[in-house]
Structure 1
Amino acid sequence: MPRRHMHVTEAAEAPLRHALRELRAEMEIPDHFTATAQAEADSAALAPRIPTACGSVATEHTLADATDLPLFTIDPPGSLDLDQAMFLSRRDGGGYRVHYAIADAASFVTPGGALDAEAHHRVTTLYFPDERVPLHPPVLSEGAASLLPDKDRPAVLWQLDLDRQGALTAASVRRALVRSRAKLDYVGVQRVIDDGTAEEPLALLREIGLLREEQEVQRGAISLHVPEQQIVERNGRYRLGYRAPLPAEGWNAQISLLTGMAAAELMLTAGVGILRTLPTAPDGSVARLRRTARALGVDWPHHTSYAALVRTLDPRSPHHAAFLQECTTLLRGAGYTAFDGTAPDASHAQHAAVAAPYAHATAPLRRLVDRYTSELCLAASAGVAPPDWVRRELDALPRTMAAGTRRANEVERACVDLVEAALLRGRVGETFDAVVVDVEEKNPTQGTVHLIAPAVVGRVETTEDTASLPLGEPLRVRLTEAEPGTAPVRFEPA
């Protein structure tokens, strides 16, 4: 998923939308699925083939029936690629039970087929400010495989038991037929929870979410509530604003994180799996952020840790929002670690931001690796060997995911450049207040600045060869370039 969320609200024929379409063509982003892959998807939508523990296939009619669970989904309005549905309840004697259904992508994608090859080529859903380029054909991702309401769907169904403090005490996973009862959105969920009208299964989202956030604090983990940037066209000019995430979005994310941690532990115990890993931030990274915080006016007491600081930030504040964008630099270096036979030691199994072993497990409609994670966890929970097709690809999967991640990052960077150039087009020569957020080690006359307003990030270069940029300090800069699709924003010290 993108670290920098951007959303364009303008009409399809507007100039920025046109430039984004040209960008997709230039980057050779696929605009359709091959005829063979589409045919496979159409066929699978009509008759999914459910894998079994013995390696054979079954149908929806032979699945364990869990349609009595009143599951619900929570997603942005208009979303149709619904990967997760949940049902929350209290346990007799105290604690909680989380039922978490994950879309069963493996029931619709035949290993080694054309659709599987297309998924390995695409790797992830790509997010542009105006649209998404999906991992799977919409007939699956927004139709037969999606956990849409009032539809029977094959799913990978987790059962996660928590104690009174929200700590995980037991986890299991199986295939089942499920039926979501309601498609909810974050604004509506937040409203009914806040006004006290939410029924208990939904009201428990807040209760469990807050407990899991406290568990996160105790682990020393980090949650970044990075705001979405929204680009709006008014009177021929573009304006950039922030949309701060709602608390309900954080509580929902905690259920996903809980499942990813449970998946990692299952695979580590079984000795075969694939983890999402992140090394500890290199020395000096936090010190650089401290300087940036000071320049942006973010109060960071010396005795306060980075993990504690980010919990105090308000994404609705422009200065805090800008700082949260810079905090994503500490997530650089994330990757995947696959193992078969010998589990990695703790130092190589850890995700530094989660402060625990963690796996991508909850978005198989949008991310390739999650399909494999589901199969590995199903096998581990059942005490059987993973399917042969999973083991065959396991060694290469980290490289495949790394290539897909690089491509997604390139898309994100290109989109940001395009949107920011559109925001500042026609303003070349104007000066802006900014903060120097990065300086090149080999050439300290070049770096990156974050404007105070609008919230634009761009390259800056001094005109004097010996003048180093002041990292983490305010700097008045002059715009020298800004042409969408031709020249990303560039600045020089004013």
Structure 2
Amino acid sequence: MANTQTAPLLVPTVRIATVEKSDAAALWVVEPRKKPVRATISAPNGHYRVGDVVAISEHKGSIRVLARLAEAESPKAALYGIAADLGLTPLHSDQVEAECVAMTQNLGLDDPNLEDLSRLAFVTIDNEDSRDLDQAMHLRRGDGDSIVISYALADGAHYVPVGTSLFEEALQRGASYYFPGFSIPMLPRLLSEDIVSLNEDKDRRALVFEMTLSDKARAVTTRVFRARIKSAGKLSYVGVQAYYDAPEGSALAGQPYTETLDLLAEVGRLLIDAAKVKDVVRYRRREAEMDLVDGVLTVKLRPRLEVEMFNEQVSLLCNIEGARLFMERSANPDLQPIFRVHPAPLQNRLTELQKFTADLAGVHGLGAEWVWQRDSEGGGESLADYLERLPDEETTARIRWAIERQAMLINERSSFTDTKGPHYGIGAPAYARFSSPMREIVGIFTHKEAVELLEGKNSDLTRDLALRDRVIESGNRSKEIQRNIEKRAHKLVLDQLFHSDLTLPAAQRPRRIGTLMGLDASRLYVQLDNPPAEIKVYLDHLTTFSENGAPPAQIITDFAIVLDDARKLTVGDRLSVWVSGYDEGRGKWSFTLVPPPAST
């Protein structure tokens, strides 16, 4: 197994700071957990205000302000404050930028070892505003009922070679990080959005997985090689879904890449059906998306489109085939693979979930169709089949949401490792991350290892063993950082919302509808309908249930909070809350639970 000790982080030469004070000559800036320091600037001091978030560089102890990132007291400033606290920075060192500029002089497109696939109408499908396009595809019919997928991945290993400042900084960052309204890229944008990105009508280097699928969506052959490709179109999920919904008259019909879109839908459905056979759990979850719109943090439900699921299935297949390549060549001593392993839920957690479904069905007076039919030995109905067959009716939707949340909570976390193992979440015997070579350091390293393997190149074994450990540590750390970002950004969204509510008289504060999703000895977990966000209602900050000021008894059972007037709220129930106060010292909101109208 890889060394799990955390490698010491390098101190980046470009960092995030906040303006502490200014005078006619200079600014004083402060970084998290440091004292204010004097900094020089090129623009007049009046351009900066106390509280502005800025990018700074350090050279031989001298601090220089490079740019203002966000205005004082803005939500964006708060988000950059999170980034600074986590040691992230949106800018790159001068050395790294210089290496990127040097690459523009020779993009390596005339490499005689590249197969020329520029005649094929590859296409990228991503979000409308995406600029770092690391995946493109071309699909065609093969012999018989087979379908050939050419899945091109930006050639990250070529442009970010080991031993460069660019690789070392990417290793330190671990991944690109996503905040509401902006991102902090792992690679400079000159690479990730230009010379490496698979942009429309541009010749680009790619690592291609050519996968031939049988009529049962099984990869019967896979060939991996480097190639030169040219994307025939930069398409969006929304645009492709519109074509699927109404192909007649669509601008995407009759294009060189239209066959690829049609076959993607066919392959996507086949792969989804194949996943069901492997008992892969699919949640009918409602995806919440945070954003920064006109300086305001927002969160809204975004429907997951069919085309996104089709695209995801092809990406998963590529990564599964990449892992298979590594396993088939595992005897090669020069190969240093990295896998992403996802253990199955522990048996005791599965037993607890089965009991939860039975008890919750009993509390709500529901029939046997709501109970997971799993026996004490772990046999019987699979979790995937159970969740798939749960009634999909509006009257019981909140109960289904609570069950699905509980099913998600029993999952173990996945992690990068040097030892192959199954990935429970996708039903694969092994899984490797090839598909994000501009957004994850693991992707760059797996590309490097695959290319060296396929081209018969030998590298420094001692160096690569140590380097793989660092890559694994960095990759796992980056996942923790992204979870931290999302948790803290979620709190900012709620704080902004509830502070606004609290400025209103109590009678005018919004009564926010939600669902009781779970509870423990100290808190309730409530999923709001609007905004679609989960909040924690702490019992010691639960003021009243009814608006006459009477406090609840706060008696807790496994599924319910029992109130002083014999009313109770049960997991899966609809409820309403409004903000009644804020505890500055503990950073917790106080809420009032309001009974729903009798008609509901």
Tell me if the contact between 1:244 and 1:316 (Cα under 8 Å) persists in the aligned partners: no
Confirm or deny that 1:229 pairs with 2:299: no
Tell me if the contact between 2:95 and 2:165 (Cα under 8 Å) persists in the aligned partners: yes
* Letter paired with 2:436: A
Find the counterpart in structure 2 of residue 358 from structure 1: 431
Tell me if the contact between 1:418 and 1:488 (Cα under 8 Å) persists in the aligned partners: no
Alignment of 1:363-382 (within 5 A): 363-381=436-454
Confirm or deny that 1:261 pairs with 2:320: yes
Find the counterpart in structure 2 of residue 149 from structure 1: 200
Q: Secondary structure at the match of 2:215?
A: coil
Tell me if the contact between 2:76 and 2:295 (Cα under 8 Å) persists in the aligned partners: no
Quote the Cα distance in structure 2 between the aligned partners of 1:468 and 1:35.
Answer: 58
* Letter paired with 1:128: F
Quote the Cα distance in structure 1 between the aligned partners of 2:293 and 2:338.
Answer: 47
Find the counterpart in structure 1 of residue 534 from structure 2: 457
Quote the Cα distance in structure 1 between the aligned partners of 2:436 and 2:216.
Answer: 27
Larger Rg, first or second structure (1 or 2): 2
Quote the Cα distance in structure 1 between the aligned partners of 2:411 and 2:107.
Answer: 37
Superposed CA deviations along residues 133-183 of structure 1, whole A, max 9, x for unmatched, are 111000000000000011111110111011011111111201111111111
Q: Secondary structure at the match of 2:500?
A: coil
2:105 equivalent among 46, 56, 61: 46
Find the counterpart in structure 2 of residue 284 from structure 1: 349
Alignment of 1:54-73 (within 5 A): 60=111, 62-73=113-124
Tell me if the contact between 2:174 and 2:440 (Cα under 8 Å) persists in the aligned partners: yes
Quote the Cα distance in structure 2 between the aligned partners of 1:231 and 1:401.
Answer: 24
Q: Secondary structure at the match of 2:344?
A: coil
Give the drift of 1:489. 4.9
Q: Secondary structure at the match of 1:166?
A: coil
Q: Secondary structure at the match of 1:276?
A: strand
* Letter paired with 2:303: A
Find the counterpart in structure 1 of residue 148 from structure 2: 97
Quote the Cα distance in structure 2 between the aligned partners of 1:293 and 1:104.
Answer: 51
Find the counterpart in structure 1 of residue 139 from structure 2: 88
Give the drift of 1:27. 3.8
Give the drift of 1:461. 2.4
Quote the Cα distance in structure 2 between the aligned partners of 1:74 and 1:314.
Answer: 33
Quote the Cα distance in structure 2 between the aligned partners of 1:236 and 1:121.
Answer: 30
Quote the Cα distance in structure 2 between the aligned partners of 1:270 and 1:139.
Answer: 35
Find the counterpart in structure 1 of residue 487 from structure 2: 413
Give the drift of 1:306. 3.3
Quote the Cα distance in structure 1 between the aligned partners of 2:512 and 2:97.
Answer: 50
Superposed CA deviations along residues 86-138 of structure 1, whole A, max 9, x for unmatched, are 00011122211000000011111131221111111111111101111111000
Quote the Cα distance in structure 1 between the aligned partners of 2:444 and 2:357.
Answer: 39
RMSD over equivalenced CA pairs, Å: 3.9
Tell me if the contact between 1:82 and 1:147 (Cα under 8 Å) persists in the aligned partners: yes
Superposed CA deviations along residues 57-109 of structure 1, whole A, max 9, x for unmatched, are xx645522221221110011021100100000111222110000000111111
Find the counterpart in structure 1 of residue 305 from structure 2: 246
Tell me if the contact between 2:288 and 2:533 (Cα under 8 Å) persists in the aligned partners: no
Quote the Cα distance in structure 2 between the aligned partners of 1:126 and 1:387.
Answer: 31
Give the drift of 1:36. 0.9
Find the counterpart in structure 2 of residue 55 from structure 1: none
The 1:381/1:489 distance shift into structure 2, 3 A limit, reads farther
Quote the Cα distance in structure 2 between the aligned partners of 1:114 and 1:208.
Answer: 41
Find the counterpart in structure 1 of residue 58 from structure 2: none
Q: Alignment length, in residue pairs?
A: 464
Q: Secondary structure at the match of 2:385?
A: helix
Confirm or deny that 1:402 pairs with 2:466: no
Quote the Cα distance in structure 2 between the aligned partners of 1:236 and 1:125.
Answer: 22
User: After the TM superposition, which of the residue ranges 322-331 and 405-414 deviates more from structure 2?
Assistant: 322-331
Quote the Cα distance in structure 2 between the aligned partners of 1:394 and 1:316.
Answer: 49
Q: Secondary structure at the match of 2:425?
A: coil
* Letter paired with 1:369: V
Superposed CA deviations along residues 251-275 of structure 1, whole A, max 9, x for unmatched, are 0111001001101111112115111
User: After the TM superposition, which of the residue ranges 365-374 and 136-145 deviates more from structure 2?
Assistant: 365-374
Quote the Cα distance in structure 1 between the aligned partners of 2:438 and 2:293.
Answer: 35
TM-score (norm 1): 0.81
Tell me if the contact between 1:82 and 1:148 (Cα under 8 Å) persists in the aligned partners: yes
1:308 equivalent among 372, 375, 385: 385
Quote the Cα distance in structure 1 between the aligned partners of 2:211 and 2:112.
Answer: 25
TM-score (norm 2): 0.68
Quote the Cα distance in structure 2 between the aligned partners of 1:236 and 1:126.
Answer: 20
Alignment of 1:66-215 (within 5 A): 66-196=117-247, 198=253, 199-215=258-274
Percent identity between the aligned chains? 24
Quote the Cα distance in structure 1 between the aligned partners of 2:272 and 2:349.
Answer: 27
User: After the TM superposition, which of the residue ranges 325-334 and 414-423 deviates more from structure 2?
Assistant: 325-334
Tell me if the contact between 1:229 and 1:242 (Cα under 8 Å) persists in the aligned partners: yes
Gaps of 5+ in 2: 1-69, 331-335, 374-380, 541-551, 560-569, 595-600
Superposed CA deviations along residues 418-472 of structure 1, whole A, max 9, x for unmatched, are 11222222335766555454556xxx22464323443222233223999547457
Tell me if the contact between 1:245 and 1:315 (Cα under 8 Å) persists in the aligned partners: no
Q: Secondary structure at the match of 2:447?
A: helix
Superposed CA deviations along residues 172-230 of structure 1, whole A, max 9, x for unmatched, are 20111111111111121112233345422210010000001111111111345654435
Quote the Cα distance in structure 2 between the aligned partners of 1:126 and 1:91.
Answer: 39
Tell me if the contact between 2:401 and 2:517 (Cα under 8 Å) persists in the aligned partners: no
Quote the Cα distance in structure 2 between the aligned partners of 1:401 and 1:67.
Answer: 33
Task: Determine which structure has greater relative contact order: mean sequence separation of CA pairs < 8 Å that are 6+ residues apart, divided by chain length.
Answer: 1
Find the counterpart in structure 2 of residue 335 from structure 1: 415
Q: Secondary structure at the match of 2:343?
A: coil
Give the drift of 1:16. 3.2
Tell me if the contact between 2:176 and 2:185 (Cα under 8 Å) persists in the aligned partners: yes
User: After the TM superposition, which of the residue ranges 407-416 and 430-439 deviates more from structure 2?
Assistant: 430-439
Tell me if the contact between 1:242 and 1:316 (Cα under 8 Å) persists in the aligned partners: no
Tell me if the contact between 2:181 and 2:291 (Cα under 8 Å) persists in the aligned partners: no
The 1:268/1:479 distance shift into structure 2, 3 A limit, reads farther
Find the counterpart in structure 2 of residue 30 from structure 1: 89
Find the counterpart in structure 2 of residue 427 from structure 1: 501
Q: Secondary structure at the match of 1:110?
A: coil
* Letter paired with 2:340: R
Tell me if the contact between 2:132 and 2:438 (Cα under 8 Å) persists in the aligned partners: yes
Superposed CA deviations along residues 283-308 of structure 1, whole A, max 9, x for unmatched, are 336448848997999x8453464323
Q: Secondary structure at the match of 1:46?
A: coil
Superposed CA deviations along residues 298-331 of structure 1, whole A, max 9, x for unmatched, are x845346432355579999895778767765355
Quote the Cα distance in structure 1 between the aligned partners of 2:269 and 2:460.
Answer: 37
* Letter paired with 1:417: K
Tell me if the contact between 1:375 and 1:386 (Cα under 8 Å) persists in the aligned partners: no
Quote the Cα distance in structure 2 between the aligned partners of 1:287 and 1:490.
Answer: 33
